[in-house]
Amino acid sequence: MNTTRDFALQLDREDPLSSFRERFIIPELKGKEQVYFLGNSLGLQPRTTAGYIDKIMKDWASLGVESFFQAPEPWMHYHDLLTKTVSEVVGAIPSEVVVMNQLTVNLHLMLVSFYRPAGKRFKIICEAKAFPSDQYAFETHTRHHGFEPGDAVIEVKPREGEFILRTEDIIDVIREHGEETALVLFGGINYYTGQRFDMKAITEAGHASGAIVGFDLAHAAGNIPLHLHDWQVDFACWCSYKYLNSGPGAIGGVFVHERHHDKNLPRFAGWWGYDIHQRFKMEKGFVPMPGAEGWQLSTPAIFLYAAHRAALEIIEAAGWENIQQKREKLNGYLWSLLEELDRETGGRQIRFITPGNAADRGCQVSMLMLQNGKEVYQALMKDGFIVDWREPDVIRFAPVPLYNTYTEVWSLVNRLRDLLK
């Protein structure tokens, strides 16, 4: 691999998505654009976001509540502008997805419907070091059903001395607890290590054991290709403020496979999930919307819809397949430079806890710093490289295809080289 800056510049010139960077506002420090590598934590703001929110403000000012029906783009049907792109991103048919709430709220709603312990089936199988919100959800739902989390929640841990979960170990644990397992729920990508799980294999193993299978896609949606419908996943939840660039606390999303749509599943209901043709009759007796929309609760946050729309339109314009092609090439380039850096330093200063195999990762790289990690992180931030520090010794960052460049990747690794020397 050519490791010169000139080669990085050439890759940028040849990049068919290079113009999409201009659609985002890049943070600046002292009048200079910073190198923003934290799309895995909060994506950048599209330039059109403020305009879409301002349209909602103007509708509200001129029409008030009649905006739900009389606005140029009636609020009553605003979510229809979002569904097509979202379904493509997660690999679903449109009726299987709904944009609503935030991730943890949606996770709780899905557990109400899909964690139904019965008889000896009461266990939840998840990855060790799942994101804290997931851990708390498992803890509180198992307690709600009268179980001790220590008995009911089975965490699959990496082998001694390893950071990555082996797929065969996950499947072995599912088989071991099969007859006692009510639910298998993993992240699509682990937030700490950046490991991408084999969701198809996990789903097949869970179903073979008679369990329901769901995924938290916080770090996967908008990052990697997903095929939730074809994989037969039962349900999934995600946020949209990371790789989907829809703003802090942005509205989340839910997938419910179509085979569950006609079932009389238990759920917590709200009026916005009521059949749209009868909703305004205000009658007792919940009649859900068909599909995933039947899990909606409250009148939607139109401002959050508008911000989400601005971001999704960029994805639609760029083309989801094109975004994936650049992600693979951009991150392949990054890893070639990092591996060269690791050879130069003799493997004594960095240990990569993100899988080296491209099929087992997305955009994120997690580096375990063996020496002076905090100092290296602080120096990078001071120099305008926005990355992330996770205690006690990990630096995380994620070059994303819509607004990061090959030259930025080269600059980061070059600065790392200087600091490690």
What is the predicted pLDDT for the residue at 280?
Answer: 85
Average pLDDT of the chain?
Answer: 96
What is the predicted pLDDT for the residue at 3?
Answer: 87
What is the predicted pLDDT for the residue at 262?
Answer: 83
The predicted model gives 331-348 an average pLDDT of 93
What is the predicted pLDDT for the residue at 264?
Answer: 84
Residues 6+ apart with CB under 8 A from 377: 369, 387, 389, 395
pLDDT cut 70: percent of the chain above it: 100
The predicted model gives 241-257 an average pLDDT of 98
Residue with tokens 């006609």: 262
Contact 415, 386 (CB under 8 A): no
What is the predicted pLDDT for the residue at 105?
Answer: 97
**Rounded distance, CA 109 to CA 113, Å?**
7
Predicted confidence (pLDDT) per residue in 14-70, tens digit: 999 999 999 999 999 889 999 999 999 999 999 999 999 999 999 999 999 999 999
Radius of gyration for the chain, computed over Cα atoms and rounded to the nearest angstrom? 22
Domains 5-33+319-420 and 54-317 belong to one CATH topology:
no
pLDDT above 80 for 394: yes
What is the predicted pLDDT for the residue at 208?
Answer: 98
What is the predicted pLDDT for the residue at 282?
Answer: 87
The predicted model gives 251-280 an average pLDDT of 92
Instruction: Give the N- to C-terminal CA distance of the chain in Å, as an integer.
Output: 22
In this structure, CATH architecture of domain 5-33+319-420: Alpha-Beta Complex (3.90)
Contact 115, 182 (CB under 8 A): yes
Concatenating the DSSP letter of every residue in 407-419 gives HHHHHHHHHHHHH
CA atoms within 13 Å, Cβ hemisphere of 353: 24
The predicted model gives 115-143 an average pLDDT of 96
Q: Which of 5, 20, 28, 46 is nearest to 404 (CA)?
A: 20
pLDDT above 80 for 214: yes
Residue with tokens 């994620």: 398
What is the predicted pLDDT for the residue at 263?
Answer: 79
What is the predicted pLDDT for the residue at 185?
Answer: 98
**Rounded distance, CA 153 to CA 138, Å?**
7
Predicted confidence (pLDDT) per residue in 95-112, tens digit: 999 999 999 999 999 999
Concatenating the DSSP letter of every residue in 87-109 gives HHHHT--GGGEEE-S-HHHHHHH
**Rounded distance, CA 30 to CA 211, Å?**
54
Read off the amino acid at residue 220.
A
What is the predicted pLDDT for the residue at 347?
Answer: 82
pLDDT above 80 for 1: no
What is the predicted pLDDT for the residue at 10?
Answer: 97
Predicted confidence (pLDDT) per residue in 158-183, tens digit: 999 999 999 999 999 999 998 999 99
Residue with tokens 């909703």: 279
In this structure, of 99-103, 232-236, 242-246, 279-283, the range with the lowest mean pLDDT score is 279-283
H or E element, residue 265: none
pLDDT cut 90: percent of the chain above it: 93
**Rounded distance, CA 32 to CA 18, Å?**
19
In this structure, of 61-65, 211-215, 283-287, 362-366, the range with the lowest mean pLDDT score is 283-287
What is the predicted pLDDT for the residue at 365?
Answer: 97
Residues 6+ apart with CB under 8 A from 6: none
What is the predicted pLDDT for the residue at 106?
Answer: 98
Domain edges within the chain: 5-33+319-420, 54-317
Domain covering 54-317 in this structure, CATH number: 3.40.640.10
In three-state secondary structure terms, 236 is: strand
Strands 153-156 and 212-216: unpaired
What is the predicted pLDDT for the residue at 174?
Answer: 98
pLDDT confidence bin for 272, thresholds 50/70/90: very high
| pTM for this prediction | 0.95
